[in-house]
Structures are given as structure tokens and as C-alpha cells.
Amino acid sequence: MRVMLVDDHAAFRHSASVLLEHEGVRVVATAESGEQALALLDAGKATDEADVILVDLRLPGMDGVEVSEAIAGRRSPPPVILISSHDEAASDPRVIGAPVRGFLPKRDLTCDAILALLG
């Protein structure tokens, strides 16, 4: 599986990338903001490579829901999974109504958890 990881904390991007790659996941792109993620997608750097995009819910500028909506409006978008260190975000009506495959608490981020949401 190939993922794009969008999170504003460099330490989390690094540790999550190491963890996922240890489980056999290939991290094909990372971004520190929603705007940067969309720019990477516009440049074609992740669209054809990523099987799924993991997007932090709380980002500066565009939040994860706004990013997922922008991605969903594209032609043949990869699925999006929202992630957050705030477990209560799973019950947020905006998260529930977002065009995403699901929500994962960051502490539960594993290859198996991603695959379970992708079905």
C-alpha cells in the first residue's frame, strides 16, 4: 500500500512514516498543510502514486474536512482517512459527514487499521 501523509507536526510525520514503512507501507508523499497537499496533487506527485491519503483533522489554514472535500471534488480521487490525536473528533458531525473512508485516532494508526477502513 502507498500513502500520502498530511500533518502539520514534523515529528509525527517522521514517526508515522517510520512506523508505516516498518509495516510494509510505502509513504510516497508528505505535506505539512492542506494547501501543500493539494499543490502536490495538482503537480501529479501523489495522485497516481497514493492508494490512500491520511489527513490530520486539525491543520493550520484548511482543516482536514476541507482538504477531504477538495480532494473528493477531483477526478478519480484516492480515498481519504482523517486522523487526529483527539479521539472525540470521531463524533464531530463535520467528520461524520466528510467524504472520507473513516477516522483513525493517531494512536491506532497501523497498516491493518488503514486496510480495515479501505475495506
Domain span including residue 18: 2-111
Rounded to an integer, the average pLDDT of 21-50 is: 88
pLDDT in tens, 37-78: 999 988 876 656 889 999 999 999 999 999 999 999 988 889
Q: What is the pLDDT of residue 68?
A: 97
Q: How many CA atoms lie within 13 A of 8 on its CB side?
A: 14
Domain total of the chain = 1
| pLDDT confidence band for 83 (50 / 70 / 90) | very high
- Phi, psi dihedral angles at 26 (to 5 degrees): -100, 120
Is 117 part of any domain? no
Residue 66, CA distances (Å) to 2, 36, 113 in order: 22, 13, 23
Which CATH number covers residue 61? 3.40.50.2300
Distance CA 80, CA 77 (A): 9
C-alpha cell at 101: 473512508
Is 27 part of any domain? yes
Listed in sequence order, the residues at least 6 apart from 85 whose beta carbon sits closer than 8 Å to its beta carbon are: 105, 106, 107
Is 119 part of any domain? no
